[in-house]
């Protein structure tokens, strides 16, 4: 039996990006300004390396101490668990065995078929004694009765000794394995096939002897995406160290055998699942978080979308008529592209697609659905290559340039779901560039629209959602927290709801929608028309007393066997059971709604069938009067990655939401609606791996309801983007999975109350998001691209050391500012550090490619930023922060901007002497030096416009900022007695964006000075004296000679 691996101590590296090796400085390992003497080019790095190694030595000591303590606790827990397992098994072996069902009292049904051996997971292994390092204090060996342990041990708390020792073989803690030792095979000696079949049997009710590893999950077993996650969760409970399988990856596995093979060939086993203390109980539910989706103006930052230059792009026209214009515009910028009329014209090696389907105005919702399906087919055609090798996907639509939020998109909103496809792709393909572009045509010709789209690809960076108005305004989307709606203080009729209201609800007899309608019934008692696909047929008598899905499976199997004499396929059993359970749930929901005071009628109608729906609502009007409200809660999910998504799955998911909504709107067109609500999802706004069709459907729904609000100003219109619920389609297994990932779940009661409050308040945002605290409401990490060449950045040739152009620090400031603003409005940069210089020897030739990476937030809330070179080598890093009110209102005082005392003129000679300041004409931003002293310096600057750099777009003025750094270098020469170069900036505050006017003034204020370093603050001031930018805590390092 293999032992548990105890990881070797892991040393924390405070500077994970700067890994010093013998080759660190041969791969452009220098800094931005490169003022160093060429005989000692790496002196600043040597100083920095000594400091880093000292910090690492201290961190290693702390890590070893922490690891020793953690290992001790882990070994104590493992030993105690082994005792508990063995003691329990011994007790069961000695207990009386007679019972009604032939199993020992106190035991569960056998977890594994007798024909297959279920080996003990390595976490519970009883092994021979092993050597343990002396530095880890161990508990005394624990003795317990010998018995065969079984799965499913209860959670345990603090170790407790047995009441009395019993002589047995010794159970020792396993020995640590060195970090270099290859990991054991996933799952150890666990019989993965037997374990999986046992779990499937337990979760579906199919007898183990009916199951074969070759069976397909859907076709043979009827196992949907929700049940898959429940099965995966149960597997991890029984064998916690099995490799992880993501939900999206799980969707690509078609058979039981493929799951087993994936587990066998998976990566590292995951750490043991955390155990609760068994006493605290669930925490009280927190109040839901309510957010609204808004547009904000956001100028392009000048970075290209990732993958734009990597491959030939297929530009699919989609009926827009502008594919040729887009291709011509791309080719003018050196990008390979060719038009395509359909998926069949996408080349086999293509890794990039531009989908223009949303620029063609659909003649009907059905045509809009067909256009979106065609776009999904194109994405599916390149998904495998983009997912593994990287590439680019761009969707383009015209829903007003604001993703339909202002309601002006009209019929074009029926193609608005293309943005949901892009947002899902961003989740599924982290190494690819992805954009959802909403470009308002507004009468512009094809060439003008194409130019706007391509300009966004060239300068819009990693912004996924880009809205392009016809007037040139660029927008992006933001979610903002808004106060939760409180219960209305109006009378029921004043709120538009009451006993006379007639509300038509889809999906209303079951799940989340049923819970919401129950809360509505208890508060306002409206008459409810519930539409569902479930016929409320009479249940067979022999099934009425059977409860529980697994038990019902067995009962249905036996019934079919008795009626037919044969054994049905598992999927047939599952379908029959699903009908029984759905009918039970619907009946129970109807009874509860009636007890709450509402009159209820139920109709088995497919909401997509417009004719049948109209007939049913005509009968409702005859009995109850006109329809006054619609709640569209019906939904279907079929999680699969874009590469695996079938047309049939798309139609099932998409049509239920979108064409169902169209049928409802058509059938109630003449009714006096006071309430129109649709259940959307956070996946529409943020994407969710495996749910491209669901995201597309819900985003279409969002935009259509915005258009409906414009037509119905007096109606309460809401598209509620729900986060994951604790209920409905989220069963217990999936809920446990979400909690394990730290994802908050919305309790049914709190969510239902929030739903009622939304319907009680007219006005406000149409699109709102309601989720539990901790629900994932953010964008994925993103990366933008920069291409540098003489054509695109000619001025960089004047920032050269030994005839080799070198990237200046101020360009990293510019790009980091652009990247941070693409994710959020964060203009405060902190802790910018130069890790390695970026040499540009190919500037005059093919050029260079750099990546600007935006990562996750650090512990302090800072957005991690890195500038990566060839092979992912990090060259710069920083963090971006939203400005607090104190920082936003910060204005330099007179002490900051007035001339420092004791200023003296610089000695005669040229400012740009080729040594301290080596810059060529395009970088000579320091026009004059008024004076220098030990306390600072003052000078006059010009900016990029004055030096002829071009119009940008620019977030900062890099030339002016570089001029400020040049003045600081001249000051540092006075206090250090030698030349220096800037290595870090503690904080960068940008006060005025874009290029600066002429007549800038710069003040350098001295900070701490040591024999090797000098620190200062740099204030760049506009001609009116207002601050343009501040570089605080700039550290300059002296160089020898």
What count of Cα atoms within 13 Å lies in the side-chain half-sphere of residue 956? 31
Contact 835, 25 (CB under 8 A): no
In three-state secondary structure terms, 718 is strand
Residue 146 in tokens: 């010998």
Residue 367 DSSP SS3: helix
Q: How far apart are CA 685 and CA 373, in angstroms?
A: 19
Helix-then-strand count for the chain, H and E: 22, 33
CA–CA gap between residue 376 and residue 647 (Å, rounded): 9
State the residue for tokens 């750490």: 271
The whole-angstrom separation of Cα 408 and Cα 399 is 8
Distance CA 744, CA 736 (A): 11
Stated length of the chain: 1041
- Find the catalytic residue in 28, 799, 848, 1019: 799
- Give one DSSP letter per residue of 758-805, joined into a string: HHT--SS-SEEEEE-TT---SPPPEEEEEEE-TTT-GGGGGSEETTEE
For tokens 């901790």, what's the residue?
Answer: 774
Interatomic CA distance for residues 826 and 822, integer angstroms:
9
Alpha-carbon separation of residue 544 from 538, 555, 581, 584 (angstroms): 10, 10, 11, 10
| DSSP H or E run through 560 | helix 549-564
- From the list 349, 358, 333, the residue with the least C-alpha distance to 422 is 358
From CA 942, how far away is CA 924, in angstroms rounded? 8
The rounded radius of gyration (Å) of the Cα atoms in the chain is 33
Distance from C-alpha of 369 to C-alpha of 874, rounded to nearest angstrom: 44
Q: Is 344 a catalytic residue?
A: no
Q: Is the dihedral of CA 834, 836, 841, 847 positive or negative?
A: negative
Residues 6+ away with beta carbon under 8 Å from 643:
252, 380, 383, 384, 387
Q: Residue 853 is inside which H or E element, if any?
A: strand 848-857
Among 693, 957, 962, 1017, which one carries the catalytic annotation?
Answer: 962
Identify the three-state secondary structure at position 653: helix
1022 assigned to active site: no
Q: At what angle do helices 549-564 and 192-204 cross, to 10 degrees?
A: 90
Which of 299, 327, 305, 324 has the alpha carbon at shortest distance from 422? 305
- Residue 64 per-residue DSSP state: H
CA dihedral 18, 22, 25, 26 (to 10 degrees): -130
The set of catalytic residues is 799, 962
């Amino acid at each position: 039996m293999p032992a548990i691996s105890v990881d070797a101590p892991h040393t924390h590296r405070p500077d994970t990006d700067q890994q010093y090796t013998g080759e660190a400085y041969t791969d452009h390992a220098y800094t931005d300004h490169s003022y160093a003497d060429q005989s000692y080019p790496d002196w600043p790095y040597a100083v920095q390396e000594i400091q880093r190694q000292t910090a690492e030595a201290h961190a290693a000591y702390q890590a070893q101490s922490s690891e020793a303590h953690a290992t001790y606790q882990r070994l104590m827990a493992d030993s105690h668990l082994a005792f508990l397992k063995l003691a329990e098994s011994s007790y069961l072996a000695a207990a009386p065995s007679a019972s009604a069902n032939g199993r020992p009292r106190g035991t569960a049904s056998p977890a594994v078929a007798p024909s297959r051996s279920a080996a003990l997971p390595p976490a519970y292994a009883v092994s021979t004694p092993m050597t343990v390092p002396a530095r880890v204090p161990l508990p005394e060996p624990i003795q317990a009765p010998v018995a065969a342990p079984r799965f499913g041990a209860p959670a345990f708390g603090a170790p407790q000794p047995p009441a009395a020792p019993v002589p047995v073989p010794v159970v020792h803690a396993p020995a640590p394995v060195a970090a270099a030792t290859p990991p054991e095979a996933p799952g150890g000696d666990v019989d993965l096939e037997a374990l999986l079949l046992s779990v499937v049997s337990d979760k579906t009710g199919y007898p183990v002897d009916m199951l074969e590893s070759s069976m397909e999950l859907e076709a043979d077993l009827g196992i949907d995406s929700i049940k898959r996650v429940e099965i995966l969760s149960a597997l991890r409970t029984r064998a916690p160290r099995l490799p992880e399988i993501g939900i999206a990856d799980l969707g690509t596995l078609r058979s039981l055998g493929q799951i087993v093979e994936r587990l066998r060939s998976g990566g590292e086993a995951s750490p043991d699942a955390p155990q609760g203390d068994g006493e605290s109980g669930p925490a009280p539910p927190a109040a839901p978080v309510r957010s609204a989706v808004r547009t904000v103006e956001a100028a392009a930052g000048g970075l290209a979308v990732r993958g734009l230059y990597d491959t030939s792009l297929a530009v699919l026209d989609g009926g827009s008529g502008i594919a040729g214009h887009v291709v011509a515009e791309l080719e003018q910028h050196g990008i390979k592209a060719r038009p395509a009329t359909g998926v069949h014209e996408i080349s086999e090696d293509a890794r990039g697609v531009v989908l223009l389907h949303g620029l063609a105005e659909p003649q009907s919702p059905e045509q809009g659905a067909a256009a979106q399906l065609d776009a999904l087919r194109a994405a599916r055609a390149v998904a495998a290559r983009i997912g593994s090798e990287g590439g680019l996907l761009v969707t383009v639509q015209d829903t007003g340039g604001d993703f339909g939020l202002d309601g002006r998109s009209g019929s074009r909103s029926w193609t608005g779901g293309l943005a949901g496809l892009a947002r899902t792709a961003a989740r599924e393909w982290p190494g690819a560039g992805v954009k959802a572009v909403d470009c308002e045509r507004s009468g512009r010709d094809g060439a003008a629209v194409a130019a706007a789209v391509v300009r966004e690809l060239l300068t819009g960076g990693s912004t996924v959602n880009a809205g392009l108005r016809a007037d040139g305004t660029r927008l992006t989307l933001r979610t903002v927290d808004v106060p939760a709606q409180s219960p209305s203080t109006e009378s029921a009729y004043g709120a538009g709801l009451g006993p006379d209201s007639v509300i038509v609800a889809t999906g209303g007899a079951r799940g989340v929608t049923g819970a919401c309608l129950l809360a509505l019934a208890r508060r306002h008692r409206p008459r409810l028309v519930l539409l569902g696909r479930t016929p409320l047929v009479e249940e067979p008598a022999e099934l009425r007393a059977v409860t529980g899905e697994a038990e019902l499976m067995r009962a249905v199997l036996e019934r079919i066997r008795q009626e037919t004499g044969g054994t049905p396929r598992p999927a047939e059993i599952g379908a029959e059971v699903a009908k029984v359970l759905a009918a039970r749930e619907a009946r129970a929901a109807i009874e509860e709604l009636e007890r709450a005071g509402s009159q209820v009628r139920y109709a088995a109608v497919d909401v997509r069938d417009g004719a049948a729906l109209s007939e049913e609502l005509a009968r409702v009007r005859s009995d109850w009067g006109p329809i006054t409200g619609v709640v569209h809660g019906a939904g279907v999910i079929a999680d699969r990655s874009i590469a695996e998504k079938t047309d049939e799955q798309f139609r099932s998911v998409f049509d239920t939401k979108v064409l169902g909504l169209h049928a409802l709107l058509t059938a109630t067109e003449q009714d006096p609606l006071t309430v129109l609500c649709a259940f959307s999802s956070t996946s529409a706004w943020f994407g969710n791996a495996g749910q491209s069709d669901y995201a597309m459907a819900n985003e279409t729904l969002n935009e259509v309801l915005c258009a409906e609000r414009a037509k119905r100003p007096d109606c309460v219109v809401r598209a509620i983007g729900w986060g994951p619920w604790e209920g409905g389609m989220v069963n217990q297994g999936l809920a446990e999975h979400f909690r394990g990932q730290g994802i908050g779940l919305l309790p049914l009661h709190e969510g239902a109350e929030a739903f009622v409050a939304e319907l009680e308040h007219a006005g406000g945002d149409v699109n709102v998001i309601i989720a539990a605290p901790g629900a994932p409401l953010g964008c994925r990490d993103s990366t933008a691209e920069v291409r540098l060449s003489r054509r695109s950045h000619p001025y960089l040739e004047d920032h050269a050391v030994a005839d080799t152009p070198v990237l200046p620090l101020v360009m990293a400031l510019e790009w980091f500012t652009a990247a941070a603003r693409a994710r959020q409005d964060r203009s405060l940069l902190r802790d910018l550090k130069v890790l390695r210089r970026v040499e540009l020897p190919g500037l005059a030739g093919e050029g260079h490619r750099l990546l600007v990476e935006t990562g996750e937030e650090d512990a302090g809330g800072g957005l991690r930023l890195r500038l990566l070179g060839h092979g992912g080598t990090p060259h710069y890093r920083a963090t971006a922060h939203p400005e607090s009110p104190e920082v936003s209102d910060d204005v330099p005082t007179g002490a900051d901007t007035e001339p420092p005392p004791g200023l003296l003129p610089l000695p005669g000679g040229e400012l740009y002497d080729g040594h301290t300041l080596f810059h060529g004409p395009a970088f000579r931003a320091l026009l004059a030096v008024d004076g220098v002293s030990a306390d600072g310096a003052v000078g006059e600057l010009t900016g990029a416009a004055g030096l002829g750099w071009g119009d940008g777009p620019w977030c900062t003025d890099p030339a002016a900022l570089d001029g400020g750094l040049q003045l600081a270098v001249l000051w540092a020469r006075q206090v250090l007695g030698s030349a220096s170069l800037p290595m870090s900036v503690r904080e960068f505050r940008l006060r005025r964006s874009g290029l600066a006017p002429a007549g800038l003034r710069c003040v350098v204020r001295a900070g701490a000075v040591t024999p090797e370093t000098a620190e200062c603050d740099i204030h760049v001031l506009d001609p009116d004296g207002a601050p343009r930018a501040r570089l605080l805590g700039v550290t300059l390092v002296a160089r020898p000679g």
